[in-house]
Amino acid sequence: MWIKKRKDKILKICRAVIFIIILCFIVGYLSSVLVSKSSYSKVSPFLKEEENFDVLFMGISHMQVGVYPMDLWKDYGIASFNFGESGARLPYSYWALKNALDYTTPELVVIDVRRMDVNDKEYDDYVSTVFDEFPLSKTKYEAAMDLFGDWDMRLEFLFPFIKYHSRWTELDENDFTKELYRINQGAYSYPKESLHVAIPEEHQIISKDDKSEGGVLAQKYLRQMIELCQGQGIDVMLTELPYPADEEAQRLANGVADIADEYGINYINFLQMDGIIDFDTDMNDKSAHVNDSGARKITSYLGNYIKENYSVPDRREDKKYSSWNDVYKKYEEYKISRIKEQTSLDNYLMLLSDKNLSSCIYINEGADILRDERMKNLLMNISQHQDLTQLDAAGESREDYLLIVDNGSSKVWEGIGEEISPDLDTSFGRIENVADEDEEPYILIQGTDKSYFLNIGENSLIADIQIMVINNSSGEVVDMAAFNVDVRSDNISATRN
């Protein structure tokens, strides 16, 4: 009898264990489906990386949109991750950094000091984007206890399923596939509907000696971040990324120099530097965030500075990091896809400001585009600010204009009116002026994969502007676009045909 009872007891225990396992599996699956995928797309590339990250970038949205890790990889071989996120003020950045250091040991941590005025731990929903994907751990528990004063918020922070359990009506296919759509190692690129070339607010740079200390809480957590890194032998660099800051924001940024001096670390205050970005071409909104053109300039400056001042290795020839080359190819494809989807000329030209792309741009005679200073600035921006000597003359004479930007060999060619007769070799093929059987001229580009042409003269009347874009890595033409100009009062714009 006792044997039967024992078997029944064991059977009940087994059923209970199996039930718990199945329940955990179901809850785990539902949690993975219901939890917002913003954190997965942001943090999972970091958690899944088997090799070490040599540089981590911390900060709010200015950092999130202002530094591109995959460009750092391409140009400098720096393996980095961008933890910048909207609303991630210094208390949250501190805990994001501490969680990250459980998984990697970088050579350098770069901290953007925007929002030194913060003097509370106000919770922002965007913080979920950084923390939800981090597994439950002692560090995450400590973060919950420090950041939140009540257990409801702590539990939601530790177990994200709790706050997302009612997301049934919001589910889409991405919730089931968990597609990685942030392929720039944590950085963010604006989608088409949010991408702009903004006219910035007016601002004046004040004296670097005009300072304010900022909030006590912000100072406390900035110091804790510095001391956390230095305690582990990790270099720290502080930044205030560029934007048209008002005077009080500049005073706060200037005050950070004293903290940097106290700890003997470098501080790049871009607000005190002129010429790193061009506010006329590089702002996505008028007061705060840079667009892709601005981000690439900031990234390039920081890449040079890091290589010159820190012992950060070049990993491009390291076989352990070979997967980064595959990620870069996806990133490159993503950049090109964004160019192809643009319908406004200003966004299109802004995205061509990329030293890894070359372009041929033909502007038909009489097109008002060259009378617009903003559009001329965008053309100058594409040429990496090499001197375009005939741009103004074309605008004044209303003659047609051809610009060839060969970033593969760092050369620029331009022609105006009857002088448009290129005969040159470029990094992406030979370019020459030829005529068809009716003696109508056109520009022939004999590319590495096939030949292309741009209509000029009377043949060009189908569009005001024609653009051909070349990928320097492959030498292939990746897009051809035509735009027509729309003139309304003092505003000049152009939309894609």
pLDDT tens sequence across 351-410? 999 999 999 999 988 887 888 888 889 999 998 767 888 888 888 888 889 999 999 999
Q: What is the DSSP letter of 194?
A: G
Cα 250 off chain centre by = 24
> Residue 349 in contact with residue 379, Cβ under 8 Å?
yes
Residue 282 placed within a domain? yes
Torsion of CA 453, 457, 459, 464, to 10 degrees: 90
CB of 227 closer than 8 Å to CB of 262 = no
> In the numeric block, which tokens belong to residue 167?
């997301």
pLDDT at 490: 47
Task: State residue 78's pLDDT score.
Answer: 98
- CB of 256 within 8 A of CB of 269? yes
Residue 205 sits in which domain range? 40-117+131-140+178-330
Enumerate the H helices of 49-150 as residue ranges.
61-66, 69-76, 90-100, 127-131, 138-147
Domain boundary among 295, 330, 365: 330
What's the pLDDT at 179? Answer: 47
Same domain, 216 and 324: yes
User: 39-59: per-residue pLDDT in tens?
Assistant: 677 888 999 999 999 999 999
List the one residue out of 130, 62, 135 whose CA is nearest residue 97: 130
Boundary (domain end) residue, out of 274, 307, 330 = 330
Summarised one tens digit per residue, pLDDT across range 182-217 is 688 999 988 888 999 998 888 899 999 999 988 899
Q: What is the mean pLDDT of residues 143-169?
A: 79
Are residue 488 and residue 386 in the same domain, yes or no? yes
pLDDT (tens digit per residue) in 405-454? 999 999 999 989 877 878 889 998 888 887 766 666 777 777 766 777 77
Domain match, 289 and 367 both: no
Name which of 58, 53, 158 is nearest 103 in CA terms.
53
Residue 13 forms part of a structural domain: no
Farthest-apart Cα atoms in the chain, separation: 108
**Nearest Cα residue to 184 out of 352, 331, 339, 357:** 331
What is the side-by-side order of every strand in the sheet holding 429-435? 423-426, 429-435, 441-447, 451-455
pLDDT above 90 covers a percentage of the chain that reads 53
Residue 103: predicted pLDDT: 97
Q: Are residues 489 and 454 part of one domain?
A: yes
pLDDT of residue 168: 47
Look at residue 208 in the predicted model and tell me its pLDDT: 95
Question: Which among 280, 291, 284, 203 is positioned nearest to 247, based on CA atoms?
Answer: 203
Residues 263-268 have a mean pLDDT of 98
The answer to whether 267 touches 256, Cβ cutoff 8 Å, is yes
Claim to verify: residue 482 and residue 412 sit in the same structural domain:
yes
Q: How far is CA 434 from the centre of its chain?
A: 41
Same domain, yes or no: 271 and 405: no
Q: Are 471 and 356 a contacting pair, CB within 8 Å?
A: yes
Q: What is the pLDDT of residues 467-477, one digit of tens each?
A: 999 999 988 89
Q: For the ranges 138-152, 215-229, 391-405, which has the lowest average pLDDT?
A: 391-405
Report how far apart, in Å, the C-alpha atoms of 54 and of each of 46, 96, 128, 187, 231 are. Answer: 12, 16, 25, 16, 17
pLDDT at 21 over 60: yes
Residue 141: both structure tokens together: 């528990």
pLDDT reading at 253 higher than 70: yes
Same domain, 325 and 362: no
Asked if 449 contacts 477 with a C-beta cutoff of 8 angstroms, the reply is yes
Tokens of 404: 């060839």
Whole-number average pLDDT of the chain:
85
Token pair belonging to 472 = 């320097």
Task: Say if 335 falls within a structural domain.
Answer: no
Whether residues 184 and 60 fall in one domain:
yes
The yes-or-no verdict on residue 108 having pLDDT over 50 is: yes
Query: Do both 370 and 301 map to the same domain?
Result: no
Residues 351 and 320 occupy one common structural domain: no
Residue 491 lies in a domain: yes
Strands 423-426 and 477-488: unpaired
The CATH number linked to 282 is: 3.40.50.1110
In a domain, residue 2? The reply is: no
- Whether residue 173 is contained in a domain is answered as no
Residue 310 lies in a domain: yes
Confidence of residue 128 (pLDDT cuts 50, 70, 90): confident
Give backbone dihedrals phi and psi of 356, rounded to 5 degrees, phi first. -90, 5
Boundary residue ending a domain (330, 359, 392): 330
Share above pLDDT 70 across residues of the chain, in percent, rounded to a whole number? 83
User: In the chain, how many domains are there?
Assistant: 2
The answer to whether residues 325 and 350 belong to one domain is no
Name the CA dihedral angle for 492, 494, 495, 497, rounded to a multiple of 10 degrees. 140
Helix (H) or strand (E) holding 338: helix 322-340
Say whether both 298 and 359 belong to one domain.
Answer: no
**Gyration radius of the chain over CA positions:** 27
